[in-house]
Amino acid sequence: MSEHNLPVLIVEDDPSLREAICDTLELAGRTHVAVDGGEAALKILGEQAFSIVVSDVRMMPMDGISLLKEIRHRLPLLPVVLMTAYADVDKAVDAMRAGACDFLLKPFEPGALLGYIDKYEVAADQETEGVVANDPASRDLFAMAQRVAATDATVLLTGESGVGKEVVARFIHRHSARAAGPFVAINCAAIPDSLLEATLFGYEKGAFTGAQQMQAGKFEQAQNGSLLLDEVTEMPMGLQAKLLRVLQEREVERVGGKKPVPLDIRIIATSNRDMAEAVAQGVFREDLYYRLNVFPVAIPALRERPQDILPIARHFLQVHGVRFARTGLQFSAAAEHSLQGHAWPGNVRELENVIQRALIMAPGGVIDPAHLNLLPTLRPAPRAAESACVVEEKLGDNINMKDLEREHILRTLAEVGGSRKLAIERLGISERTLRYKLQQYREEGFFQD
């Protein structure tokens, strides 16, 4: 998704030049914010999102190179173009090493400035491929993902169902040294136990009835790339031991095979459960947990990054508007207010479903609250700055996120007349996860068949 609706940040300590640059952007119809130095730039970068930074080099007390390095540390995806009145080769080399997109030599024509901005915004759009990170929590998340992508460490992504764990996993792969290799994903909860081992590890011809020819498993298919083990906590205990051996030895043996195949892959695992709790309950191996938990990344729920809600909604409106042949639709102010006030227990997946439904329901070019058909929630969405304990205290009556999730699942099941097939389609979860949840609710006395 293009983020050209985001403003350009101008950092220039010369008032007259700063004003001239602002005039250029205003005439071009581009929103912008201008500040007079590096410290002011860092402050506002912590408060809102920008599409690109255009900064002078010679400033006091923080010069453009120091500002650039700090931006690279905090927001590694944000493009930065530096301006200088001096053809200083050493500074240009230093800037490029620090991660500047380019150098703009003063004096420059307005068209040159706009050309640089357009060029590097487009490049950033192609690099992020639909990643929306307007909220500070999301920007911190993707900055961390960018840093771990530069290594080959095993990554464990955790977070509630629907927060976008696969989006982050693909982002890590795309920004790694393995980007040219394959990205292979497998949902460990969606494949029957009897088929999961053969799917993961592959099999030799004749290994079992129906094995007409040799088949490479997901591990081999991900050779020289990345393998995503989605919902890894749903893997049967017996298979967990085999997975542990593969991770330790960095080789895989096909079902029915005798010769191990060396592996050169990066493992990314995800779970929507509390991993430590799963270990304590005896449903997940402790040694495998530590093997996967090399670099843990917790993905915040959508309600914890409220500044992402409308940009993500607009992104889905654009994407699915093309798919449904309904382009050009917009949200009314009331609809945007409804979107921002919803608690989103189903996270980004729920938001996507809501937007698709609205595209079908809206008869004209404007989406109103009635077209969103948002399910009632038990509480207003908390602000990102609120701590979990404060949120839980505000809920009262022991209502917490597990209660909200249970209410959402059981309500959805009731709305589809008890059809588990329709329920998993609406909820965006696997059949195995739904079975696990219902069994849990049954044991707690909340659900009866």
- pLDDT (average), residues 169-190: 92
User: Within a domain: residue 241?
Assistant: yes
Task: Please report the pLDDT score of residue 96 as a whole number.
Answer: 64
Handedness of CA 334, 335, 340, 345 (dihedral sign): positive
Output the pTM of the full model.
Answer: 0.64
Q: What is the pLDDT of residue 370?
A: 92
Residues 279 and 337 in one domain: no
Q: Domain check: are 22 and 166 in the same one?
A: no
- Among residues 374, 380, 431, 436, the alpha carbon closest in space to that of 406 is found at 436
Residues 93 and 184 in one domain: no
Domain boundary (245, 274, 298) is at 298
206 and 308 assigned to the same domain: no
Looking at 103, 128, 153, which one is the last position of a domain? 128
pLDDT digits (tens, 9 = 90+) for 365-409: 999 999 998 866 544 444 433 333 433 333 443 345 667 778 888
Residue with the bigger pLDDT between 1 and 435: it is 435
Q: How far apart are CA 289 and CA 104, in angstroms?
A: 49
Between 307 and 319, name the one with better pLDDT. 307
Please give the average per-residue pLDDT across 124-151, as a whole number: 79
Does 82 fall in a domain?
Answer: yes
Question: Which carries the bigger pLDDT value, residue 206 or residue 218?
Answer: 218
Q: Domain range holding 95? A: 8-128
pLDDT of residue 434: 83
* pLDDT of 298 above 80: yes
- Output the pLDDT for position 116: 85
Same domain, 306 and 284: no
Instruction: State the pLDDT at residue 355.
Output: 94
- The domain that holds 88 is classified in CATH as 3.40.50.2300
Out of 61-70, 109-118, 121-130, 432-441, pick the least confident.
121-130
Structural domain includes residue 245: yes
- The residue-averaged pLDDT of 190-216 equals 81
User: pLDDT value at position 388?
Assistant: 38
Residue 151 has pLDDT above 90, yes or no: yes
Q: Is the pLDDT of residue 138 over 50?
A: yes
- The per-residue pLDDT for range 259-277, each reduced to its tens digit, is 889 999 999 999 998 898 9
- Rounded Cα–Cα distance for residues 99 and 67 (Å): 11
Are the C-beta atoms of 192 and 200 separated by less than 8 Å?
no
Confidence of residue 129 (pLDDT cuts 50, 70, 90): low
**3 inside domain:** no
Which of 135, 134, 132, 200 shows the shortest CA–CA distance to 168?
A: 132
Same domain for 268 and 148: yes
Query: Is the pLDDT reported for residue 17 higher than 80?
Result: yes
Structural domain count of the chain: 4
Among the three residues 317, 352, 372, which one is the final residue of a domain in this structure?
372
